Amino acid sequence: MTMFGPRAACLISETGPLWVSDTGHHRLLGWRNLPTTDNQSADWVIGQPDFYHEGQNAKGTPGRATVSVPTGICRCGSGLAVADAWNHRVLIWKNLPEDNNVPADLVLGQANFTDNEPNRGSQSPDANTMHWPYGILYHQGKLFVADTGNRRLLIWQQLPTENGQPADLVLGQPDMISRNENCGASPTAVSMRWCHDMTFWGDNLVVSDAGNNRVMIWQGMPTENNTPCAVVLGQKDFNNVEMNQGVYFPSASSLSMPYGVDAAGDWLLVADTANSRLLGWQKPESILSLQGAAADALAGQANFKNKGENRDFGLPTRESLNWCYGIKICGQTAVIADSGNNRILLWRFNYGD
């Protein structure tokens, strides 16, 4: 069983199934149960005729069971949702697939399952279009999509029921028809450059804004378009956005292209991708105290000042990371998309440690 740059994974329950976006092979891999041995073979594949072929849309045209650079993947109601990035759409299965090439039931971002132009062929986006959607989250009945190429986050207040259904809210842009990075100006608490993943830390929305080298946190759930975030991690303020705060080596408070985020208990975990490490922040009494705060925990590097792939640019080990793109927690299992090492890691996550 091989993978090529997997960027995301989703563990449905602590015992499985496990679904992985095998991004570079343009397919989804499914394990019926949580794997218990290294390199355990997948049970299902979606997007290719079998386990031995690869290619965008199975080297054909888009359909209900094809993908092109699949990235974000999540449990969605009783089913599954995938950010099918280079088809500029999201695919939704109403029930969890339990076989090879189960066709999706619903598509967002396109009017049908056969079209795949960015923003439906228009120069400008709309509430029902997408351009490189990389991240997806379903939370308390709401659907969130990181519409990365349009530099925005789209929100559906309820799980969509129709193909091409428009979003209800947008963050990162003043309206549904704008797409400039950082709203065409300097970075602020409302703007985004390359949003990639989302989670909820308690009641607070968290978004990884990889292009601005920061993680944005809102107080609660935004209810209006273009609501500013309350604090950012990785930068000292809302206006600075340099990698590692303009310094070559990282620190406990800096980030470099953070792509993945998730929360578990009091912990917020961030895949600090270009620094090849995971950072953890423990929830304070008030999130307002987190502005530019230093991380409380580290994995993947020996200390907060190191950034080399596989720690010292060596061979991968069980403790090393190489451009980790995704992090998701289910129970006490952390699922890490260790993209540069072409693998998925399953780590035991100890909440109290």
Domains belonging to the chain, first-starting first, are: 8-348 (2.120.10.30)
Rounded mean pLDDT, 92-110: 99
Asked whether the predicted pLDDT for residue 353 surpasses 60, the reply is no
Tell me if 325 sits within 8 A of 8, measured CB to CB. yes
pLDDT of the residue at 350: 78
Please write the tens of the pLDDT for every residue from 176-216. 999 999 999 999 999 999 999 999 999 999 999 999 999 99
Confidence of residue 70 (pLDDT cuts 50, 70, 90): very high
The 10 Å Cβ neighbour count of residue 308 is 15
Judged against a pLDDT cut of 90, whether residue 312 lies above it is answered with no
State pTM to two decimals: 0.98
Is it the case that residue 83 has pLDDT exceeding 70?
yes
Q: Is the pLDDT of residue 329 over 60?
A: yes
Q: Cβ distance 228 to 247 under 8 Å? A: no
Q: What's the pLDDT tens digit per position in 35-61?
A: 999 999 999 999 999 999 999 999 999
